[in-house]
Structure 1
Protein backbone atom coordinates (compact mmCIF):
# COMPACT_ATOMS: atom_id res chain seq x y z
CA UNK A 1 0.00 0.00 0.00
CA UNK A 2 1.38 3.39 -1.03
CA UNK A 3 1.49 6.19 1.57
CA UNK A 4 1.76 9.89 0.81
CA UNK A 5 4.19 10.77 3.59
CA UNK A 6 4.36 14.45 2.67
CA UNK A 7 0.59 14.74 3.08
CA UNK A 8 0.72 13.01 6.46
CA UNK A 9 3.52 15.34 7.57
CA UNK A 10 1.04 18.22 7.23
CA UNK A 11 -0.21 17.01 10.63
CA UNK A 12 3.14 17.83 12.30
CA UNK A 13 2.60 20.56 14.86
CA UNK A 14 -1.16 20.00 15.13
CA UNK A 15 -2.42 20.65 18.66
CA UNK A 16 -5.47 20.02 20.81
CA UNK A 17 -6.44 20.56 24.45
CA UNK A 18 -9.02 18.67 26.51
CA UNK A 19 -9.96 19.00 30.20
CA UNK A 20 -11.76 16.66 32.60
CA UNK A 21 -12.54 16.49 36.32
CA UNK A 22 -11.02 13.51 38.18
CA UNK A 23 -13.88 12.24 40.31
CA UNK A 24 -13.85 9.86 43.30
CA UNK A 25 -16.08 7.49 41.27
CA UNK A 26 -13.60 7.19 38.38
CA UNK A 27 -10.77 6.65 40.87
CA UNK A 28 -12.69 3.88 42.62
CA UNK A 29 -13.50 2.20 39.29
CA UNK A 30 -9.84 2.34 38.23
CA UNK A 31 -8.75 0.69 41.49
CA UNK A 32 -11.48 -1.94 41.21
CA UNK A 33 -10.46 -2.79 37.63
CA UNK A 34 -6.92 -3.59 38.80
CA UNK A 35 -8.01 -5.19 42.11
CA UNK A 36 -6.11 -2.55 44.07
CA UNK A 37 -6.98 -0.56 47.16
CA UNK A 38 -6.45 3.15 47.68
CA UNK A 39 -8.14 6.29 48.89
CA UNK A 40 -10.74 7.78 46.56
CA UNK A 41 -11.48 10.79 48.77
CA UNK A 42 -11.15 14.33 47.48
CA UNK A 43 -7.52 15.43 47.74
CA UNK A 44 -6.10 11.90 47.65
CA UNK A 45 -3.26 11.13 45.23
CA UNK A 46 -4.53 9.60 41.99
CA UNK A 47 -3.33 6.06 41.15
CA UNK A 48 -0.40 5.86 38.77
CA UNK A 49 -1.37 6.03 35.07
CA UNK A 50 -5.00 6.85 35.79
CA UNK A 51 -4.44 9.85 33.48
CA UNK A 52 -4.95 7.46 30.56
CA UNK A 53 -8.63 7.40 31.57
CA UNK A 54 -9.03 11.18 31.37
CA UNK A 55 -9.47 13.80 28.65
CA UNK A 56 -10.90 11.65 25.85
CA UNK A 57 -13.16 13.13 23.20
CA UNK A 58 -16.78 11.95 23.30
CA UNK A 59 -16.85 10.83 19.67
CA UNK A 60 -20.38 9.86 18.55
CA UNK A 61 -20.80 6.19 17.66
CA UNK A 62 -21.82 7.19 14.14
CA UNK A 63 -18.43 8.85 13.69
CA UNK A 64 -16.37 5.74 14.44
CA UNK A 65 -14.37 3.99 11.75
CA UNK A 66 -14.52 0.31 10.89
CA UNK A 67 -11.88 -0.50 13.55
CA UNK A 68 -13.84 1.25 16.33
CA UNK A 69 -11.54 4.27 16.53
CA UNK A 70 -12.68 7.75 15.54
CA UNK A 71 -12.57 8.17 11.78
CA UNK A 72 -9.09 9.18 10.66
CA UNK A 73 -8.10 12.65 9.63
CA UNK A 74 -9.02 14.57 12.79
CA UNK A 75 -6.28 15.24 15.32
CA UNK A 76 -4.34 12.15 14.23
CA UNK A 77 -3.30 11.91 10.55
CA UNK A 78 -5.29 9.67 8.15
CA UNK A 79 -2.77 6.83 7.93
CA UNK A 80 -4.31 4.25 5.55
CA UNK A 81 -2.83 1.14 7.23
CA UNK A 82 -5.63 -0.77 9.02
CA UNK A 83 -3.79 -2.00 12.12
CA UNK A 84 -3.14 0.59 14.81
CA UNK A 85 -1.29 -0.09 18.08
CA UNK A 86 0.17 1.84 21.00
CA UNK A 87 3.87 1.06 20.53
CA UNK A 88 5.15 2.64 23.74
CA UNK A 89 6.74 5.86 24.88
CA UNK A 90 7.88 7.53 28.07
CA UNK A 91 6.39 9.44 31.01
CA UNK A 92 8.10 12.05 33.21
CA UNK A 93 6.25 12.77 36.44
CA UNK A 94 6.38 16.34 37.80
CA UNK A 95 3.82 16.43 40.63
CA UNK A 96 0.93 14.26 41.82
CA UNK A 97 -2.61 14.59 40.52
CA UNK A 98 -5.25 14.79 43.24
CA UNK A 99 -8.79 13.44 43.20
CA UNK A 100 -11.14 16.37 42.64
CA UNK A 101 -8.78 18.34 40.38
CA UNK A 102 -9.49 19.28 36.77
CA UNK A 103 -6.85 17.79 34.51
CA UNK A 104 -5.99 19.45 31.20
CA UNK A 105 -4.18 17.56 28.46
CA UNK A 106 -2.42 19.59 25.76
CA UNK A 107 -1.27 17.39 22.89
CA UNK A 108 1.04 18.07 19.94
CA UNK A 109 1.89 15.83 16.99
CA UNK A 110 5.67 15.92 16.73
CA UNK A 111 6.54 13.52 13.94
CA UNK A 112 5.17 11.19 11.28
CA UNK A 113 7.65 8.68 9.87
CA UNK A 114 7.71 5.54 7.71
CA UNK A 115 9.99 2.66 8.71
CA UNK A 116 10.50 -0.85 7.38
CA UNK A 117 9.79 -3.70 9.78
CA UNK A 118 10.06 -7.47 9.40
CA UNK A 119 6.40 -7.60 8.30
CA UNK A 120 6.57 -4.61 5.93
CA UNK A 121 6.16 -0.86 6.10
CA UNK A 122 5.24 0.76 9.42
CA UNK A 123 4.00 4.30 10.00
CA UNK A 124 4.94 5.86 13.35
CA UNK A 125 3.14 8.89 14.76
CA UNK A 126 4.76 10.55 17.78
CA UNK A 127 2.58 12.64 20.09
CA UNK A 128 3.64 14.68 23.14
CA UNK A 129 1.03 15.13 25.87
CA UNK A 130 1.49 17.71 28.63
CA UNK A 131 -0.88 17.33 31.58
CA UNK A 132 -1.72 20.19 33.95
CA UNK A 133 -3.96 20.74 36.97
CA UNK A 134 -4.51 24.13 38.61
CA UNK A 135 -1.59 25.60 36.60
CA UNK A 136 0.66 22.87 38.01
CA UNK A 137 2.56 20.53 35.69
CA UNK A 138 1.52 16.93 36.43
CA UNK A 139 3.37 14.87 33.81
CA UNK A 140 4.75 14.85 30.29
CA UNK A 141 4.16 11.80 28.11
CA UNK A 142 5.49 10.83 24.72
CA UNK A 143 3.30 8.30 22.94
CA UNK A 144 4.44 6.35 19.90
CA UNK A 145 1.55 5.06 17.80
CA UNK A 146 2.29 2.55 15.05
CA UNK A 147 0.17 1.67 12.01
CA UNK A 148 0.79 -1.41 9.89
CA UNK A 149 -0.83 -3.28 7.05
CA UNK A 150 -2.66 -6.57 7.63
CA UNK A 151 -0.26 -9.45 6.92
CA UNK A 152 -1.05 -11.58 3.88
CA UNK A 153 -2.24 -15.15 4.40
CA UNK A 154 0.55 -17.64 4.31
CA UNK A 155 3.22 -15.13 5.33
CA UNK A 156 5.99 -16.76 7.34
CA UNK A 157 5.93 -16.24 11.08
CA UNK A 158 9.25 -15.59 12.73
CA UNK A 159 10.48 -17.59 15.68
CA UNK A 160 10.14 -15.62 18.92
CA UNK A 161 12.68 -15.98 21.72
CA UNK A 162 11.22 -16.84 25.14
CA UNK A 163 11.48 -13.99 27.64
CA UNK A 164 14.18 -14.17 30.34
CA UNK A 165 13.19 -14.69 33.95
CA UNK A 166 13.24 -11.70 36.28
CA UNK A 167 14.48 -11.81 39.86
CA UNK A 168 10.94 -10.79 40.84
CA UNK A 169 7.81 -12.19 39.21
CA UNK A 170 4.05 -11.76 39.50
CA UNK A 171 1.41 -13.57 37.45
CA UNK A 172 -1.70 -11.75 36.20
CA UNK A 173 -4.67 -13.36 34.46
CA UNK A 174 -5.75 -11.34 31.43
CA UNK A 175 -9.50 -11.93 31.45
CA UNK A 176 -12.24 -10.64 29.12
CA UNK A 177 -13.64 -8.72 32.09
CA UNK A 178 -10.35 -6.89 32.59
CA UNK A 179 -10.20 -5.87 28.92
CA UNK A 180 -13.85 -4.79 28.93
CA UNK A 181 -13.48 -2.67 32.06
CA UNK A 182 -10.29 -1.01 30.85
CA UNK A 183 -11.88 -0.22 27.47
CA UNK A 184 -14.81 1.37 29.32
CA UNK A 185 -12.54 3.39 31.63
CA UNK A 186 -10.58 4.79 28.68
CA UNK A 187 -13.60 5.21 26.36
CA UNK A 188 -11.71 2.99 23.93
CA UNK A 189 -13.86 1.26 21.33
CA UNK A 190 -10.98 -0.28 19.35
CA UNK A 191 -12.52 -3.60 18.30
CA UNK A 192 -9.36 -5.70 18.75
CA UNK A 193 -10.01 -5.59 22.51
CA UNK A 194 -13.58 -6.98 22.56
CA UNK A 195 -14.75 -8.12 19.10
CA UNK A 196 -13.28 -11.58 18.54
CA UNK A 197 -14.48 -12.07 14.92
CA UNK A 198 -13.07 -8.66 13.98
CA UNK A 199 -9.74 -9.30 15.74
CA UNK A 200 -9.26 -12.72 14.13
CA UNK A 201 -10.89 -12.36 10.70
CA UNK A 202 -10.21 -8.70 9.89
CA UNK A 203 -6.87 -8.03 11.61
CA UNK A 204 -5.46 -11.56 11.64
CA UNK A 205 -4.81 -12.01 15.37
CA UNK A 206 -5.40 -15.36 17.11
CA UNK A 207 -7.39 -13.78 19.95
CA UNK A 208 -8.38 -10.48 21.58
CA UNK A 209 -5.47 -8.12 22.28
CA UNK A 210 -4.49 -6.71 25.68
CA UNK A 211 -4.27 -2.90 25.60
CA UNK A 212 -0.74 -1.50 25.60
CA UNK A 213 -1.55 1.14 28.27
CA UNK A 214 -3.15 -1.58 30.42
CA UNK A 215 0.12 -3.52 30.40
CA UNK A 216 1.97 -0.29 31.12
CA UNK A 217 -0.27 0.30 34.15
CA UNK A 218 0.38 -3.22 35.43
CA UNK A 219 4.15 -2.79 35.09
CA UNK A 220 4.04 0.68 36.71
CA UNK A 221 2.03 -0.66 39.64
CA UNK A 222 4.51 -3.52 40.02
CA UNK A 223 7.41 -1.07 40.04
CA UNK A 224 5.80 0.97 42.83
CA UNK A 225 5.02 -2.17 44.83
CA UNK A 226 8.65 -3.26 44.60
CA UNK A 227 10.41 0.07 45.18
CA UNK A 228 7.77 2.37 46.68
CA UNK A 229 6.98 5.93 45.63
CA UNK A 230 6.23 7.36 42.21
CA UNK A 231 9.15 7.01 39.77
CA UNK A 232 10.65 10.11 38.20
CA UNK A 233 10.38 8.50 34.77
CA UNK A 234 8.89 5.43 33.11
CA UNK A 235 9.71 4.13 29.65
CA UNK A 236 7.68 1.52 27.74
CA UNK A 237 8.06 -0.37 24.49
CA UNK A 238 5.62 -2.87 23.04
CA UNK A 239 7.29 -5.95 21.55
CA UNK A 240 4.63 -8.57 20.78
CA UNK A 241 0.88 -8.79 21.43
CA UNK A 242 -0.47 -10.24 24.67
CA UNK A 243 -3.76 -12.10 24.36
CA UNK A 244 -6.85 -12.57 26.48
CA UNK A 245 -7.66 -15.70 28.55
CA UNK A 246 -3.99 -16.29 29.23
CA UNK A 247 -1.66 -15.65 32.17
CA UNK A 248 0.74 -12.74 31.81
CA UNK A 249 3.85 -12.81 33.98
CA UNK A 250 5.30 -9.50 35.16
CA UNK A 251 9.08 -9.65 35.59
CA UNK A 252 11.46 -7.20 37.27
CA UNK A 253 15.23 -7.01 37.83
CA UNK A 254 17.52 -4.28 39.14
CA UNK A 255 20.13 -2.99 36.70
CA UNK A 256 22.42 -0.17 37.80
CA UNK A 257 20.04 2.54 39.03
CA UNK A 258 17.09 1.35 36.96
CA UNK A 259 14.38 -1.17 37.63
CA UNK A 260 13.93 -3.18 34.44
CA UNK A 261 10.45 -4.60 33.90
CA UNK A 262 8.82 -6.73 31.25
CA UNK A 263 5.68 -8.79 30.68
CA UNK A 264 5.42 -12.13 28.92
CA UNK A 265 3.14 -15.15 28.74
CA UNK A 266 4.62 -18.22 30.47
CA UNK A 267 7.33 -19.57 28.17
CA UNK A 268 6.55 -16.89 25.57
CA UNK A 269 8.29 -13.81 24.21
CA UNK A 270 8.41 -10.36 25.81
CA UNK A 271 5.11 -8.57 25.28
CA UNK A 272 6.12 -5.19 26.75
CA UNK A 273 9.38 -4.01 28.25
CA UNK A 274 9.77 -1.05 30.57
CA UNK A 275 12.20 0.73 32.86
CA UNK A 276 11.64 2.89 35.92
CA UNK A 277 13.97 5.42 37.55
CA UNK A 278 13.50 7.32 40.80
Structure 2
Protein backbone atom coordinates (compact mmCIF):
# COMPACT_ATOMS: atom_id res chain seq x y z
CA UNK A 1 0.00 0.00 0.00
CA UNK A 2 2.67 2.52 0.99
CA UNK A 3 4.68 1.69 -2.17
CA UNK A 4 1.75 2.80 -4.36
CA UNK A 5 0.89 5.98 -2.49
CA UNK A 6 3.50 8.56 -1.54
CA UNK A 7 1.78 9.43 1.71
CA UNK A 8 4.77 11.37 3.01
CA UNK A 9 4.78 13.48 -0.13
CA UNK A 10 1.04 14.08 0.11
CA UNK A 11 1.29 15.05 3.78
CA UNK A 12 3.72 17.82 2.89
CA UNK A 13 0.65 19.70 1.65
CA UNK A 14 -0.83 19.85 5.18
CA UNK A 15 -1.13 23.49 6.16
CA UNK A 16 -2.01 24.69 2.65
CA UNK A 17 -4.58 27.50 2.89
CA UNK A 18 -6.82 29.48 0.60
CA UNK A 19 -8.99 32.51 1.41
CA UNK A 20 -12.26 33.31 -0.37
CA UNK A 21 -14.94 36.00 -0.10
CA UNK A 22 -18.68 35.81 -0.66
CA UNK A 23 -21.92 37.53 0.34
CA UNK A 24 -24.76 35.96 2.31
CA UNK A 25 -27.43 36.66 -0.29
CA UNK A 26 -31.05 35.68 0.15
CA UNK A 27 -31.74 34.03 -3.21
CA UNK A 28 -30.16 30.59 -2.57
CA UNK A 29 -32.03 30.28 0.75
CA UNK A 30 -35.27 29.98 -1.23
CA UNK A 31 -33.67 27.00 -2.98
CA UNK A 32 -32.92 25.26 0.32
CA UNK A 33 -36.46 25.73 1.60
CA UNK A 34 -37.75 24.24 -1.66
CA UNK A 35 -35.25 21.35 -1.75
CA UNK A 36 -36.23 20.23 1.76
CA UNK A 37 -39.90 21.19 1.36
CA UNK A 38 -39.69 23.21 4.60
CA UNK A 39 -42.68 25.02 6.04
CA UNK A 40 -40.35 27.85 6.98
CA UNK A 41 -40.03 31.50 6.05
CA UNK A 42 -36.88 32.53 4.21
CA UNK A 43 -34.98 35.03 6.37
CA UNK A 44 -34.92 38.60 5.10
CA UNK A 45 -32.05 41.10 5.05
CA UNK A 46 -30.46 41.38 8.48
CA UNK A 47 -32.13 38.22 9.84
CA UNK A 48 -30.25 35.10 11.00
CA UNK A 49 -29.58 32.27 8.56
CA UNK A 50 -30.42 28.84 10.08
CA UNK A 51 -27.54 26.52 11.02
CA UNK A 52 -26.15 24.43 8.18
CA UNK A 53 -27.45 26.72 5.46
CA UNK A 54 -24.00 28.26 4.98
CA UNK A 55 -23.33 25.49 2.44
CA UNK A 56 -25.11 27.54 -0.24
CA UNK A 57 -22.15 29.94 -0.21
CA UNK A 58 -18.49 29.64 -1.29
CA UNK A 59 -19.06 27.37 -4.27
CA UNK A 60 -16.21 25.81 -6.22
CA UNK A 61 -16.41 27.20 -9.75
CA UNK A 62 -13.79 25.01 -11.43
CA UNK A 63 -13.72 25.24 -15.21
CA UNK A 64 -14.81 22.17 -17.17
CA UNK A 65 -11.22 21.17 -17.99
CA UNK A 66 -10.45 20.83 -14.25
CA UNK A 67 -13.29 18.38 -13.52
CA UNK A 68 -12.72 14.65 -13.05
CA UNK A 69 -14.90 11.86 -14.42
CA UNK A 70 -17.03 12.10 -11.28
CA UNK A 71 -17.78 15.76 -12.01
CA UNK A 72 -15.78 17.20 -9.10
CA UNK A 73 -12.82 19.56 -9.50
CA UNK A 74 -9.40 17.92 -9.34
CA UNK A 75 -7.55 21.16 -8.64
CA UNK A 76 -8.07 24.65 -7.29
CA UNK A 77 -8.55 23.80 -3.63
CA UNK A 78 -6.22 22.79 -0.80
CA UNK A 79 -6.35 19.02 -1.46
CA UNK A 80 -3.45 17.81 -3.62
CA UNK A 81 -3.96 15.49 -6.57
CA UNK A 82 -4.45 11.99 -5.16
CA UNK A 83 -4.18 8.58 -6.89
CA UNK A 84 -7.75 7.49 -6.08
CA UNK A 85 -10.64 8.44 -8.39
CA UNK A 86 -13.59 7.96 -6.02
CA UNK A 87 -14.48 10.16 -3.09
CA UNK A 88 -17.19 10.05 -0.45
CA UNK A 89 -18.40 12.16 2.45
CA UNK A 90 -17.12 10.70 5.74
CA UNK A 91 -18.52 13.25 8.18
CA UNK A 92 -18.27 16.76 9.52
CA UNK A 93 -17.82 18.74 12.72
CA UNK A 94 -19.46 22.15 12.99
CA UNK A 95 -19.03 24.82 15.66
CA UNK A 96 -21.50 27.71 15.46
CA UNK A 97 -20.17 30.79 17.25
CA UNK A 98 -22.83 33.18 16.01
CA UNK A 99 -25.32 33.13 13.12
CA UNK A 100 -24.68 34.57 9.70
CA UNK A 101 -27.12 37.31 8.73
CA UNK A 102 -28.64 37.85 5.30
CA UNK A 103 -26.56 40.54 3.63
CA UNK A 104 -23.33 39.80 5.51
CA UNK A 105 -20.00 40.08 3.72
CA UNK A 106 -18.29 36.72 4.31
CA UNK A 107 -14.72 35.49 4.33
CA UNK A 108 -13.71 31.83 4.46
CA UNK A 109 -10.29 30.38 5.23
CA UNK A 110 -9.86 26.76 4.12
CA UNK A 111 -6.89 24.77 5.42
CA UNK A 112 -5.76 21.20 4.72
CA UNK A 113 -5.34 19.91 8.28
CA UNK A 114 -4.87 16.15 7.94
CA UNK A 115 -4.25 13.45 5.37
CA UNK A 116 -4.01 9.78 6.43
CA UNK A 117 -3.67 6.50 4.54
CA UNK A 118 -5.52 3.47 5.94
CA UNK A 119 -6.36 -0.04 4.81
CA UNK A 120 -10.01 -1.03 4.42
CA UNK A 121 -11.91 -4.11 3.30
CA UNK A 122 -12.05 -2.71 -0.26
CA UNK A 123 -8.40 -1.64 -0.36
CA UNK A 124 -6.45 1.50 0.58
CA UNK A 125 -8.40 4.51 1.79
CA UNK A 126 -7.14 8.07 1.94
CA UNK A 127 -8.82 10.18 4.64
CA UNK A 128 -8.60 13.94 4.17
CA UNK A 129 -9.60 16.66 6.64
CA UNK A 130 -10.24 20.25 5.59
CA UNK A 131 -10.88 22.95 8.20
CA UNK A 132 -12.97 25.90 7.07
CA UNK A 133 -13.37 29.06 9.12
CA UNK A 134 -16.14 31.45 8.07
CA UNK A 135 -16.02 35.05 9.25
CA UNK A 136 -18.82 37.64 9.24
CA UNK A 137 -18.49 41.33 10.11
CA UNK A 138 -18.93 40.26 13.76
CA UNK A 139 -15.94 37.90 13.71
CA UNK A 140 -15.52 34.12 13.53
CA UNK A 141 -18.97 32.64 12.88
CA UNK A 142 -18.52 28.98 11.91
CA UNK A 143 -15.70 26.44 12.10
CA UNK A 144 -16.27 23.40 9.92
CA UNK A 145 -14.09 20.31 9.77
CA UNK A 146 -14.96 18.31 6.67
CA UNK A 147 -13.91 14.65 6.34
CA UNK A 148 -13.59 13.00 2.93
CA UNK A 149 -12.43 9.51 1.99
CA UNK A 150 -10.79 8.72 -1.37
CA UNK A 151 -10.65 5.16 -2.70
CA UNK A 152 -9.97 3.00 -5.75
CA UNK A 153 -12.36 2.62 -8.67
CA UNK A 154 -14.85 -0.23 -8.68
CA UNK A 155 -13.77 -3.05 -10.99
CA UNK A 156 -16.08 -3.64 -13.98
CA UNK A 157 -19.12 -5.69 -12.96
CA UNK A 158 -18.52 -5.29 -9.22
CA UNK A 159 -20.79 -3.51 -6.74
CA UNK A 160 -19.64 -0.92 -4.27
CA UNK A 161 -19.41 -2.39 -0.77
CA UNK A 162 -22.20 -1.19 1.55
CA UNK A 163 -21.25 -1.67 5.20
CA UNK A 164 -23.85 -3.00 7.63
CA UNK A 165 -23.92 -1.28 10.98
CA UNK A 166 -25.73 -1.44 14.28
CA UNK A 167 -29.26 -0.20 14.89
CA UNK A 168 -30.11 2.91 16.94
CA UNK A 169 -31.87 2.75 20.32
CA UNK A 170 -35.59 2.00 20.29
CA UNK A 171 -38.35 4.39 21.28
CA UNK A 172 -36.64 7.65 20.34
CA UNK A 173 -38.94 10.67 20.86
CA UNK A 174 -37.86 12.56 17.75
CA UNK A 175 -38.46 10.85 14.41
CA UNK A 176 -39.16 11.79 10.82
CA UNK A 177 -39.21 9.93 7.50
CA UNK A 178 -37.30 11.45 4.58
CA UNK A 179 -38.04 10.53 0.96
CA UNK A 180 -34.87 11.38 -1.01
CA UNK A 181 -36.50 11.56 -4.43
CA UNK A 182 -34.35 12.41 -7.48
CA UNK A 183 -35.85 15.89 -7.83
CA UNK A 184 -34.99 16.85 -4.23
CA UNK A 185 -31.45 15.52 -4.63
CA UNK A 186 -31.03 17.41 -7.89
CA UNK A 187 -32.35 20.61 -6.32
CA UNK A 188 -29.89 20.25 -3.45
CA UNK A 189 -27.04 19.63 -5.91
CA UNK A 190 -28.07 22.76 -7.79
CA UNK A 191 -28.41 25.12 -4.81
CA UNK A 192 -25.06 23.98 -3.36
CA UNK A 193 -23.45 23.82 -6.84
CA UNK A 194 -22.34 20.23 -6.17
CA UNK A 195 -21.39 18.57 -9.50
CA UNK A 196 -20.67 15.10 -8.02
CA UNK A 197 -22.40 12.79 -10.50
CA UNK A 198 -23.33 10.11 -7.93
CA UNK A 199 -26.11 12.43 -6.72
CA UNK A 200 -27.95 13.10 -10.01
CA UNK A 201 -26.55 10.84 -12.78
CA UNK A 202 -28.10 7.42 -12.15
CA UNK A 203 -26.23 5.56 -14.89
CA UNK A 204 -22.90 6.91 -13.64
CA UNK A 205 -23.72 6.09 -10.00
CA UNK A 206 -24.73 2.52 -10.84
CA UNK A 207 -22.48 1.60 -13.77
CA UNK A 208 -19.28 3.44 -12.87
CA UNK A 209 -19.36 3.42 -9.06
CA UNK A 210 -21.41 0.28 -8.40
CA UNK A 211 -24.14 1.83 -6.27
CA UNK A 212 -27.78 0.63 -6.26
CA UNK A 213 -29.10 4.10 -7.08
CA UNK A 214 -28.45 7.78 -6.61
CA UNK A 215 -26.43 8.54 -3.49
CA UNK A 216 -27.89 10.94 -0.93
CA UNK A 217 -25.43 13.77 -0.24
CA UNK A 218 -23.82 13.54 3.18
CA UNK A 219 -24.66 17.23 3.78
CA UNK A 220 -28.27 16.51 2.72
CA UNK A 221 -28.74 14.01 5.55
CA UNK A 222 -26.72 16.35 7.76
CA UNK A 223 -29.25 19.13 7.17
CA UNK A 224 -32.17 16.77 7.80
CA UNK A 225 -30.67 15.92 11.21
CA UNK A 226 -29.90 19.55 12.10
CA UNK A 227 -33.47 20.51 11.20
CA UNK A 228 -34.88 17.63 13.27
CA UNK A 229 -32.98 18.92 16.32
CA UNK A 230 -33.97 22.55 15.92
CA UNK A 231 -37.62 21.66 15.19
CA UNK A 232 -37.71 19.79 18.52
CA UNK A 233 -35.85 22.43 20.55
CA UNK A 234 -37.04 25.84 19.44
CA UNK A 235 -35.73 27.74 22.47
CA UNK A 236 -31.99 26.99 22.25
CA UNK A 237 -29.52 27.60 19.43
CA UNK A 238 -27.22 24.83 18.20
CA UNK A 239 -23.63 25.34 19.38
CA UNK A 240 -21.96 22.29 17.80
CA UNK A 241 -22.80 19.35 15.57
CA UNK A 242 -20.61 16.34 14.81
CA UNK A 243 -21.70 13.71 12.28
CA UNK A 244 -19.96 10.49 11.30
CA UNK A 245 -20.98 8.59 8.18
CA UNK A 246 -21.35 4.84 8.72
CA UNK A 247 -23.09 3.79 5.49
CA UNK A 248 -24.41 5.57 2.39
CA UNK A 249 -28.06 6.35 1.76
CA UNK A 250 -29.78 6.07 -1.63
CA UNK A 251 -32.89 7.26 -3.43
CA UNK A 252 -34.11 3.65 -3.66
CA UNK A 253 -36.19 4.03 -0.50
CA UNK A 254 -37.03 6.42 2.33
CA UNK A 255 -34.70 6.81 5.28
CA UNK A 256 -35.42 7.81 8.87
CA UNK A 257 -33.91 10.56 11.00
CA UNK A 258 -34.40 10.20 14.75
CA UNK A 259 -32.98 11.40 18.01
CA UNK A 260 -33.36 12.27 21.68
CA UNK A 261 -32.27 15.01 24.08
CA UNK A 262 -29.43 14.21 26.47
CA UNK A 263 -27.82 15.87 29.50
CA UNK A 264 -31.04 17.48 30.60
CA UNK A 265 -31.63 19.02 27.20
CA UNK A 266 -28.15 20.51 26.87
CA UNK A 267 -27.40 18.20 23.95
CA UNK A 268 -28.85 15.56 21.66
CA UNK A 269 -28.00 12.25 20.03
CA UNK A 270 -29.25 11.75 16.49
CA UNK A 271 -29.20 9.04 13.85
CA UNK A 272 -30.12 8.55 10.21
CA UNK A 273 -31.01 4.98 9.33
CA UNK A 274 -31.23 3.01 6.11
CA UNK A 275 -34.53 1.47 4.95
CA UNK A 276 -33.29 -1.73 6.66
CA UNK A 277 -33.08 0.14 9.98
CA UNK A 278 -29.29 0.15 10.29
CA UNK A 279 -27.27 3.25 11.16
CA UNK A 280 -26.13 5.39 8.23
CA UNK A 281 -25.23 8.57 10.15
CA UNK A 282 -24.68 9.20 13.85
CA UNK A 283 -24.57 12.63 15.46
CA UNK A 284 -23.59 14.32 18.70
CA UNK A 285 -25.04 17.81 19.12
CA UNK A 286 -24.80 20.51 21.78
CA UNK A 287 -27.18 23.41 22.37
CA UNK A 288 -26.06 26.81 23.53
Q: Could you say which TM-score interval applies, normalised by the shorter chain?
A: over 0.9
Q: Which structure 2 segments of 5+ residues have no match? A: none
User: 1:183–1:112: structure 2 CA closer, same or farther, 3 Å change rule?
Assistant: same
Q: Of the candidates 182, 189, 193, which is equivalent to residue 187 of structure 1? A: 193
Q: SS in structure 2 opposite 1:233?
A: strand
User: 1:154–1:201: structure 2 CA closer, same or farther, 3 Å change rule?
Assistant: closer
Instruction: Give me the whole-angstrom Cα distance separating, in 2, the residues matched to 1:168 and 1:11.
Output: 42
Q: Which structure 1 segments of 5+ residues have no match? A: none
The 10-residue stretch of structure 1 (153-162 or 81-90) with the greater mean CA deviation from structure 2: 153-162
> What's the CA shift string for 1:150-201, capped at 9, x where partnerless?
3553898765444443332111110101110111111110111011111111
> What's the CA shift string for 1:112-147, capped at 9, x where partnerless?
111122322211111111000115211111111111
Instruction: Give me the whole-angstrom Cα distance separating, in 2, the residues matched to 1:125 and 1:103.
Output: 25
Task: Establish whether residue 275 from structure 1 lines up as the match of residue 281 from structure 2.
Answer: no
Q: SS in structure 2 opposite 1:171?
A: strand
Q: Of the candidates 254, 258, 263, which is equivalent to residue 247 of structure 1? A: 254
Instruction: Give me the whole-angstrom Cα distance separating, in 1, the residues matched to 2:159 and 2:189.
Output: 32
Aligned pairs for 1:254-273 within 5 A:
254-256=261-263, 257-273=266-282
The 10-residue stretch of structure 1 (12-21 or 36-45) with the greater mean CA deviation from structure 2: 36-45
Task: Establish whether residue 121 from structure 1 lines up as the match of residue 121 from structure 2.
Answer: no
Q: Of the candidates 89, 111, 127, which is equivalent to residue 108 of structure 1? A: 111
TM-score in terms of structure 1 length: 0.93
Residue in 1 that maps onto 2:241: 234
Residue in 2 that maps onto 1:66: 69
User: 1:154–1:47: structure 2 CA closer, same or farther, 3 Å change rule?
Assistant: closer
Instruction: Give me the whole-angstrom Cα distance separating, in 1, the residues matched to 2:204 and 2:21.
Output: 32
User: 1:74–1:30: structure 2 CA closer, same or farther, 3 Å change rule?
Assistant: closer
8 A contact 1:67–1:191 mirrored in 2 = yes
The 10-residue stretch of structure 1 (22-31 or 85-94) with the greater mean CA deviation from structure 2: 22-31
Residue in 2 that maps onto 1:81: 84
Aligned pairs for 1:17-36 within 5 A:
17-36=19-38
Q: Of the candidates 130, 133, 141, which is equivalent to residue 138 of structure 1? A: 141
Residue in 2 that maps onto 1:225: 231
Q: SS in structure 2 opposite 1:198?
A: helix
Residue in 2 that maps onto 1:171: 177
Instruction: Give me the whole-angstrom Cα distance separating, in 2, the residues matched to 1:264 and 1:179.
Output: 17
Residue in 2 that maps onto 1:16: 18
| CA displacement at 1:254 relative to structure 2 | 2.8
Q: SS in structure 2 opposite 1:114?
A: strand
User: 1:119–1:110: structure 2 CA closer, same or farther, 3 Å change rule?
Assistant: same
8 A contact 1:84–1:148 mirrored in 2 = yes
Instruction: Give me the whole-angstrom Cα distance separating, in 2, the residues matched to 1:173 and 1:16.
Output: 37
Aligned pairs for 1:208-223 within 5 A:
208-223=214-229
| CA displacement at 1:57 relative to structure 2 | 2.6
| CA displacement at 1:62 relative to structure 2 | 2.9
8 A contact 1:67–1:190 mirrored in 2 = yes
